[in-house]
A and B are shown apart, each in its own frame.
Chain A
Amino acid sequence: MRKRPQFYRKGTGMIDATSNNRSNRNGLSRRTALKGIGAAAGLMAGPGFVRYAGAQTSAPIRIGFQAHRTGIGAAYGRWYERTTNAAVKAINAAGGINGRPLEIVVEDDGTDPKRGAEVVEKFANQHKVDLVFGTLFSHVVVGSAPTAGELKMPYYVVSEGYHVASGKLNRYVVQPGITDVRSQVTSMAPWVSSNLGRKATMIFPDYAFGHDHRDFFTAAMKAQGAEVIAQVAIPPTESSFTRYFPQIPRETEVLYHVMVGPAVLTFVKELGEFYGSNRPEIFGFIDSLEAVDMASPGLEFLEGTYFWEGMPRYLQADVGDAERAYRDAVGIDENGASKDDPQDVSTAAHMFGCWETLYVIKAAMEAVDYKGPQDRAKVIEATEAMTEFPAGLEHPQGRKIFNGKIHQCFGHQNISLVKDGRLEVIHRTAIEDGMYQPEADYTSMSF
């Protein structure tokens, strides 16, 4: 009974309880603190830290990596992670960022937009990272971007979608490491219409990513005086495709396909069964076959068809030193598969974006002498001020032009021919082929 007043009179009772706790905690934490200092001293004396000893602070710069470890993006996610780790290793071996080591914190978003937003929140509040990076799937980017904006967390995506450049997101979202779909398809249309055919039929997934392809490729073909005569939208959960093929008009000269998800192999196999050798010209985005072995049974039919590739999967004869060094660092062989497992085929056409983005982040942080989260907005401003990334080890895919107003880079694209079960680059577009009139200006938005 004596205790009751303590509970009722919250004032004194509660203070008593907490002050007791606090003194306990102090006792404990003093001991822990000593241990911690001892451990830290031990670590500092270790060889790993010597390199950073000259910097003002040697605490690592921590970057949250929003990874598609599970869900439909898992195959991409695995290679995004490997490329990221390779880039971090290279950056740290060369002295880190501003003398501070770079550390990656990985969280799985399940390739799910809702989970993606939660992951960004977790990065900000729990892991307290300096910025977030690495997302591919467009719906996850669109789902996570508002949270990144609210939390004032720089969000460097590697996603291809037009949503960044469109101006529909916010000032904290940047895409400096990979070109967007609008730029890609705009640069493809002149080559497709003059080499493959002037009457195209498009097959694409029926959601935002596919719609970007549909809208911008149709417009780009029209600008060339060519025509898209049919658009076949396929529901994203579809697992069988033969039933859609009769919608392809007989007069189609070139078939344009871009598919993603677990059923891509079925799609190409069924297309082969449907047409056999009597097919129109076929031009696809390698997204339809990323992480899929070109030697898979049923894919023989793709021999003599063409693919867009952001960066070549197969080692090309004229490969430069930077590209070769990049491939070695990531660990892919001449067929674009893992050096440890030739069955484990990479997503080479996209994953270079992680590598290049990390180097852009490094450059931006060094430009503003990044100290901590209070400098986040300055990092965005420094990125916006960039105009060009020269080709080299930091940008192995090639030179890029960056438009700070729309937070988007522009670069070369490759068109490859399937020959003897390999992809051989036969055309490389100029950067200007993929330029378009910007529709937005993020720099006029407030932070």
Chain B
Amino acid sequence: MDHAPGDWFQDSYALTSLALAPSTRSKLQRAGVHSARDVLRISGNSPSTLARECALTLDEANDALKAARFNGEGIALRGARSAAELLREERARWSVFTFCEALDDALGGGAASGEITELCGCPGIGKTQMAMQLSVSAQTPRAFGGLGGEAVYVDTEGSFTAERAMDMAEALAEHLGRCAKRCEDEDARREMEAALETCAPEAMLRGIHLFRCHEVTELLAALETLGEFIAERPKVRLVVIDSVAFHFRQDFQDMALRTTILSKMTNRLMSIATTQQVAVVTVNQVTVKPQRDGSARLVPALGESYAHACTTRVILSWENDERVAFVTKSPRLPQARARYAVTAGGIRDVRGSKRAAP
């Protein structure tokens, strides 16, 4: 059996933690076997040796060996992997870019797969614009360094406007057309031109799967089926929830219940993000929080415990008459700020500033 680098600890499972018939287990115990490692060592991977050493029948020995090899996974440390493995996996991750270079830099490439990225901000700041932009840019063909994916858009507020998404898709198609023309490598250009034909703006809109949820229950039901939905559509690279706040902010009298359901939802999102390797983007509102001195501050809605739900939190705000994004929470990125603009074609850099001011 090939041992992956992370498998060492599974060998040390106690015999009692393996799924074995009681009779088999007691025979093994009588023979002085204590752990899965003992089973493997005594047998030398041969069931007949194990049968001879521990007075088992060949069938029992086979079962015991199988349990020692694989069953450990069924228990406590199931799926545990070493940090090195995870790092390798993380490096293989991709991001959905926002099309604002400054913000993409601040986010380390965009909304990352396997993570929940939360966008918070006042009404009109561009949360929905950002979400729509991501849904469109997730479909950039591979020939252009994009993901060639599809997007799921869960709309709880009714703000997804297909016409606006169309604007962005058209702008993207136009941009890609220009890129293809500029490209000097002959082969790459031919590839790009072929890809362009498949990514007409209409086709991009067909790649956005829209769920409209009117109630908390509808939202939860949609999330419940989302895993399957994505499994059937392996091209999905992005799931957007716009917004998580709308239903949760007022539908609940019982705050404990709200917390329970919220955390359930978050777990669900996290499991979708990690098992399907999609980027999950949630949109949150901001609320006015009264301070002790009678003043008030703007804080992301849904409270403190929910703040732990997202992997990366981006706060969108006004600075004078300019839109600014702050990366305020992330396990892998430094805090950063980036200016962005909402243009006719979607989210872009503020003109004249390709890089964010420090």
Do A and B form a real pair? no
